[in-house]
Structure 1
Amino acid sequence: MATVELLFSALPEHVRTARLVAAAVARRAGVDEAVLDEVRLAVGEACTRAVGLHAGHGVTTPVRVVLIEDEKKFSIEVGDDAPHPSAADAAAGTGEAPGAPEEGEDDMGLAVISGLVDDVEVTADESGGLIRMSWPTIPAPVLP
């Protein structure tokens, strides 16, 4: 199992680099060429969301992107350190930082990711959030 970890400051100009690295590692891992655009777009959406959350909440830690190559799948984890309000806080109208992304914008990014990736999991709490995405890989042909 090979793993690549990227840490980048929460600036929009770094999202492109994360997309390019993710596509290159996915290609090397054996993700089908026809799916690489979806990988790039999904990583771009997840990283843009993390950058927006960091900026909106004044978080200065880097955004984390982990690329994991397993035998049968390629996974990407995009993590942020922005506080995510609990369902109770959201219902009460508390827990939002000034300048935080609008809920509709956040939901739109997650909807785009869900439309691009069949295997996606989103978790979040007061210490940050994580989006896990994975794609099947094509086994390398066995040479005689």
Structure 2
Amino acid sequence: MYYVNQEQIQLRLGTIPEIAEALKRTAEAWDGSVMLGMVQERALHLAIEVVTDVGSYLIDGFIMRDASSYEDIMEINHEEKVFDDDIYRVLRELVGLRKPLVQEYYSWKRAEIHPLTPVLPDILDRFAVQVREYIRQELGH
């Protein structure tokens, strides 16, 4: 029997609407300002943390193979059919931004809108739906 920490997964998925809203509003109002640059940066960072945290909980709970990197977390979940190909491609690109956002923040181009910013709100919403559906299917709820 699996022990899937659904409470922690749901807490993290529950942050997606706010993150998606921040990304959507940032894309719509983009003016290259420091303020919107910082909002974009933080929203992208939070999106990375949500998808990797949820992915890790699924890997642990459903006893999938161990992940060796953030990209691997996405790959394992994709292989296990947690989410579809379109979501996987975007999330794999997203998690690749973690190092630039967290460790190389001094060289992040804050005056430029990142191509993922307008795309992510829909992808994150779909990610949450597909994760919830995967859990329902796997646990028979």
Structure with the bigger percentage of helix = 2
Which band: TM-score by shorter chain? 0.3 to 0.5
Structure with the bigger percentage of strand = 1
TM-score by length of 2: 0.36
Greater RCO, CA 8 A, separation 6+: 2
TM-score by length of 1: 0.35
